Amino acid sequence: MRQESRSELMARVQELCFACLDLNLYLDNNPDDSNAVSMYNKLSKQFEQARCAYESKYGPLTNFGYVQGKCPWQWVDQPWPWDREFND
């Protein structure tokens, strides 16, 4: 099985985040749509998995709330996820 590149992992995180946000907005107006709730839960789980896969390989995407700290304290010693200067 081929490993996804850094940019592919980031694209997957962004795609799933967008899909979850879009469904969240839909559900704000259609809270009884059980199919949409089911899809939201499925995509949320995929988003969490994609985010964890990226962060385990390249570091945290946010500065708090998702990843426990290590000693010595680290943030990002690579280019930031939104920097286009890194190579895959």
Question: What one-character-per-residue DSSP string does 65-76 give?
Answer: SSS---SS----
Binned at pLDDT 50, 70 and 90, residue 65 comes out as low
Rounded CA separation 57/30 (Å) = 37
What mean pLDDT, rounded, does the chain reach?
82
Rounded CA separation 9/58 (Å) = 10
Tokens of 44: 């949320």
Tokens of 24: 């969240």
15-45 tens-digit pLDDT = 999 999 999 999 999 999 999 999 999 999 9
Give the position of tokens 């994609």: 50
Q: Are residues 37 and 86 in contact, defined by beta-carbon separation less than 8 angstroms? A: no
